[in-house]
Structure 1
């Protein structure tokens, strides 16, 4: 039911208008002052605002200006008992949708409101279409799928991207947790700053504190130079802590402090470094159950559990499997500079019948193998999946080259063509990276201004 916000300081007018709109099928939120009504307005508001012009405190004109500042496409219907030509012209000129003069018949109020609501519906639909077009034109991976859970996920990301609220992502291995974290970053106002990802389970415990918080020269043995930690490197942007459940209990205490105080101290330093960043964490297990078992700090769990996104496993969104597989075929074929292999009805049946314990990651790997080796198996996907043999008849150097090119291209995409960051991510000297980019005809300019989720 479409929501209408109605503001009028005169109770009889407010009650009469509310009743007429409710009988017409609208959900009405009546207010006797503009300040309370304004608190209900956001850029995702899908209805219309009806407000009296002359009111104590914030009047209708000022309320309209503030609403338009939030979203210029929200229809604002102004009502007044003192309307004249100049008032109507001023109202429309400043962005008002329409103006009604008291007393007005209920039919006129309802008709005007219906037109305003339809205008708002079309505005939101056009906005969504524009966003989809922008998404489809981006280089790199996207959150694809038409399953209800995925469409809901995309809407949630769009709604919360520009907030600073920390987010916890829960999902099985391979469901795309880092993709969602990156999407949150790329849709936010932090997109021009660093997105820093760290896998808490892939770093030795004795090095984790240094990786996260950095250290001063001489802070410990082998600390020969100052090092900026991941938190500091992500300042102004987003820090993604994957497999947070793998973080040692000893490190969880300072992590909790950072989340609460938004500041850090490098190891070996007493100087506080203020942080402005968003922290996104991900786990593949139930952290509440882990906390109850004493394997995860309960206070950290409750601090992380402000806003949680749960990613469905692939077996629970089977309708998306053909779309995702076709997408991965296109990507793999482009990277390997080969034709997109055919996909038969039997192949689709095989895809839909598999349980996908490795989720989207497994699906992507099968798509890449299908591009590389499909011909060797006469494009029999079932035989290819059962073989478990990635060598086939493709020469090893060709497989290595294709994989190497894909890895370099992914890193260039992720770091938007920044050679220094790509070198560090891949662990390659500048000369080696330059030679390989020349070999595979990879131009950094192609990735410099790209946006990926």
Structure 2
């Protein structure tokens, strides 16, 4: 099993092609060799997982022309140019045009392997980010709190996709900050009601004496101060979605009226006996155990069973630890954009520390930590470590964080880890040794 690739190696000199292929294959790196640039170019597509290594001086299409053509197919594909001593100035100018790196002849095999591995690590990050965007964007656009490669988040996205096709009412449960509101928005956006209103109601934030009027509306004279008729939030959501957040905060008397509205899909404004039909979908959310509340008599059991036709459970960050580094980097980018600052580098050691925390406030707390990091105001849990200056060091830090996150997600099980990363056992051992990662540090107690 090769570590990654393939590497498209282009050189018109056969001995150099053979030597390069042997070097790369001994390093467990897949390689395809070509004597003409045009042949290699045929293998390039936007989702090509590998990189290009090409000599500059070749008959026909040379390395500079190959670089430009490759970047037209994918502006982010890494291209490493191999130069002669007299081509250094040209190589530097090609770096400005988008070349990833250059190697000067004659080069040591270790120099080629090191440059290729760094380029492949960068390519993997690029492909992973694209895959993430393609998986999440159809459902949630930029709703970053729902991103993640974990099995838990994949389950949530599958549930949203399946439920969105129906018109069933949904109950979303989860701790504070797990993204219950984002899941509700995603469900609405993926449904046939997407072009109709999405009316979010925080039941805990409504004034106690105004809840009924806010939800159901009122007629003129229904109570003191009601000088004119007013439609409630349920009416505003006609043909759309009503999202009732913190539904456990509703008083029992209002729960009875809500139950009637959910069952009959109709309401009466305060001060009126006229029935108003509703064409809405109800989504409710709660951070507390509604079944326990129903058993204690603080929440109506019949309302619970009417709302939870489908239940979506939002996992806490502690249950999907492998998603934490990616989410933190996403939030760092957003906060840097908000404050008009350059995106700071986040060293792998910081990502490791962040991934190790439990984050009881979940994505909301993680976003706040990212904001402090961008502003240079760490709270002690995110140690500020000077970011390395070179590209190779930054890529190495990211690779270390990815390997550590995968080891944590798989509780130190090496086979599961190298299969999840798509590398060989030998490559995983080498990376763990290179980055000082000890399997025992990731093994859960009694595992």
TM-score, scaled to structure 1? 0.53
Question: 1:346 offset after TM fit, Å?
Answer: 2.1
**Match of residue 177 from structure 2:** 174
**Match of residue 286 from structure 1:** 289
Distance 2:381 2:337 in 1: 20
**Match of residue 310 from structure 1:** 313
CA displacement, residues 186-223 of structure 1 (integer Å, 9 cap, x when unaligned): 01111111101111111122111111101112111111
* Secondary structure in 1 matching 2:205: coil
Seen in structure 2, the aligned counterparts of structure 1 residues 358 and 129 have a Cα distance that, compared at 3 Å, is: closer
CA displacement, residues 219-260 of structure 1 (integer Å, 9 cap, x when unaligned): 111112222111111111100000111110010001000010
* Secondary structure in 1 matching 2:375: helix
Question: 1:129 offset after TM fit, Å?
Answer: 9.7
Distance 2:357 2:143 in 1: 26
**Match of residue 415 from structure 1:** none
After superposition, residues 22-421 of structure 1 pair within 5 angstroms as 132=135, 134-135=137-138, 138-141=141-144, 143-374=146-377, 382=382
* Secondary structure in 2 matching 1:221: coil
Distance 1:196 1:282 in 2: 13
Distance 1:130 1:382 in 2: 27
CA displacement, residues 23-65 of structure 1 (integer Å, 9 cap, x when unaligned): xxxxxxxxxxxxxxxxxxxxxxxxxxxxxxxxxxxxxxxxxxx
Distance 2:361 2:132 in 1: 32
* Secondary structure in 2 matching 1:240: strand
Seen in structure 2, the aligned counterparts of structure 1 residues 274 and 358 have a Cα distance that, compared at 3 Å, is: same
* Secondary structure in 2 matching 1:373: coil
Aligned residue pairs, count:
254
Seen in structure 2, the aligned counterparts of structure 1 residues 133 and 308 have a Cα distance that, compared at 3 Å, is: closer
**Match of residue 75 from structure 2:** none
Distance 1:297 1:156 in 2: 26
* Secondary structure in 2 matching 1:231: helix
Seen in structure 2, the aligned counterparts of structure 1 residues 233 and 136 have a Cα distance that, compared at 3 Å, is: closer
Distance 1:349 1:339 in 2: 22
Task: Tell me, yes or no, if the aligned pair for 2:199 and 2:243 is still in contact at 8 Å.
Answer: yes
Question: 1:349 offset after TM fit, Å?
Answer: 2.1
C-alpha root-mean-square deviation of aligned residues, in Å? 2.2
* Secondary structure in 1 matching 2:199: strand
Superposition misfits of 4+ residues, deviation over 6 angstroms: none
**Match of residue 414 from structure 1:** none
Task: Tell me, yes or no, if the aligned pair for 2:239 and 2:278 is still in contact at 8 Å.
Answer: yes
Unpaired segments of 5 or more residues in structure 1? 1-127, 385-453
Task: Tell me, yes or no, if the aligned pair for 1:135 and 1:142 is still in contact at 8 Å.
Answer: no
Distance 1:138 1:298 in 2: 35
TM-score, scaled to structure 2? 0.54
Question: 1:380 offset after TM fit, Å?
Answer: 7.3
Question: 1:353 offset after TM fit, Å?
Answer: 2.1
Task: Tell me, yes or no, if the aligned pair for 2:202 and 2:246 is still in contact at 8 Å.
Answer: yes
Seen in structure 2, the aligned counterparts of structure 1 residues 140 and 228 have a Cα distance that, compared at 3 Å, is: same
